Amino acid sequence: MIKLFLPNEYVDSVFEITPAKLKEQGIKAIITDLDNTLVEWDRKNATPKLIAWLEEMQKEGILVTIVSNNNQLRVEAFSNPIGIPFIYHARKPMGRAFRRAIRDMNVNKDETVVIGDQLMTDVLGGNLNKLYTILVVPVAKTDGFFTKFNRVIEKRLLNFFKRKNMIQWEDKK
């Protein structure tokens, strides 16, 4: 049960994830969180660097869908200007939004990766749905109210994984 919180991979940021690396793994689609994964939770728009990353994914045939627990106004305002499909009020880690994103992108589970900054929502949700999961270091050092609670539990889980030699990465969180 505890392994459901263990990501398959851990990176400093989404910018370490390249189309070439994804294609090597047979990945054709990305389900990504928005807040503190792609941009700071309080940043309204995509940065030029993020737009370039998304364009590179698109150019290389990697589909991207944003799956966020945030509200429609927030997710739509971010996603529409850059033309990225999205699902809001996703209720992660519940599986419905993950399954919908896979269906909408017309890919299989084994062709899909979940990228996010939280063990309790992104990684757990991806793992429950048998998807490859990549945990990223949160973009911002601050969090919204509910996320602060999750971070306390995350810290304990990461410490447990380290003590049990279940993770080999350095402490980035």
pLDDT band at 158 (very low <50, low <70, confident <90, very high): confident
pLDDT of residue 54: 98
Using pLDDT thresholds of 50, 70 and 90, give the confidence band for residue 147: confident
Q: Where are the domains of the chain?
A: 2-163
Bond prior to 138 in cis (omega within 30° of 0) = no
What is the CATH architecture of 2-163?
A: 3-Layer(aba) Sandwich (3.40)
Whether 131 has a pLDDT exceeding 50, the answer reads yes
How far is Cα 76 from Cα 92, in angstroms, rounded to an integer? 18
User: Between the CA of residue 43 and those of 24, 158, 167, what are the distances in Å?
Assistant: 32, 27, 31
Say how far apart CA 124 and CA 76 lie, in whole Å: 24
Instruction: Check residue 173 and give its pLDDT.
Output: 45
What pLDDT score does 170 carry? 54
Q: What is the mean pLDDT of residues 10-32?
A: 97
Give pLDDT, residue 159.
83
Q: How far apart are CA 30 and CA 113, in angstroms?
A: 5
- Determine the Cα angle at 77 with ends 33 and 65, to 5°: 35
pLDDT band for 10, please (50, 70, 90 cuts): very high
pLDDT attached to residue 163: 85
